[in-house]
Amino acid sequence: KQPSRELRILILGLDNAGKTTVLRVLASEQDEIKNTTPTQGFNVKSVHSQGFKLNIWDIGGQRTIRPYWKHYFEGTDVLIFVVDSADMMRMDETGEELSELLQEHKLAGVPLLVFANKQDLDLAMPPDEPAGYASPDLQHNLLIFPQIAEKFQLTSLTDRRWQIQPCSALRGEGIQEGMDWMAKNVS
Ligand code: GDP
Q: Is the pTM of this model over 0.90?
A: no
Q: Is 106 annotated as a binding residue?
A: no
Sheet strand arrangement including 52-58: 34-36, 44-49, 52-58, 7-13, 78-84, 112-117, 162-166
Burial class of 160 by CB neighbour count within 10 A (0 to 12, 13 to 18, 19+): middle
Those residues with Cβ within 8 angstroms of residue 95's Cβ, 6 or more apart along the chain or in another chain: 151, 152, 153
* pLDDT for residue 180 is more than 70: yes
Q: What's phi and psi for 131, nearest 5 deg?
A: -60, 140
* pLDDT for residue 185 is more than 50: yes
Residues with CB under 6 Å of ligand 1 are: 13, 15-21, 58, 117-118, 120-121, 168-170
160 vs 1: which has the higher pLDDT:
160
- Among this protein's residues, is 62 annotated catalytic? yes
How many CA atoms does the CB half-sphere of 183 hold within 13 Å?
13
Atom of ligand 1 nearest to the CA of 23: 7
Q: Is 94 annotated as a binding residue?
A: no
To test the pocket of ligand 1, the residue of 12, 21, 33, 168 to mutate (highest count of ligand atoms within 8 Å of its CB) is 21
- Name which of 28-42, 83-97, 172-186 the model is least confident about: 28-42
CA 114 / ligand 1 centre spacing (Å):
15
Mean pLDDT of 151-166: 88
pLDDT for 37-51, tens place per residue?
666 666 778 888 878
- Mean model confidence pLDDT for the chain: 81
CB 85 within 8 A of CB 133: no
Mean pLDDT of 149-170: 88
Q: How confident is the model at residue 58 (pLDDT cuts 50, 70, 90)?
A: confident
Catalytic residue among 62, 139, 165, 176: 62
Q: How confident is the model at residue 111 (pLDDT cuts 50, 70, 90)?
A: very high
**CB-CB neighbours of 46 under 10 Å:** 21
Q: Alpha carbon 89 to chain centroid distance?
A: 18
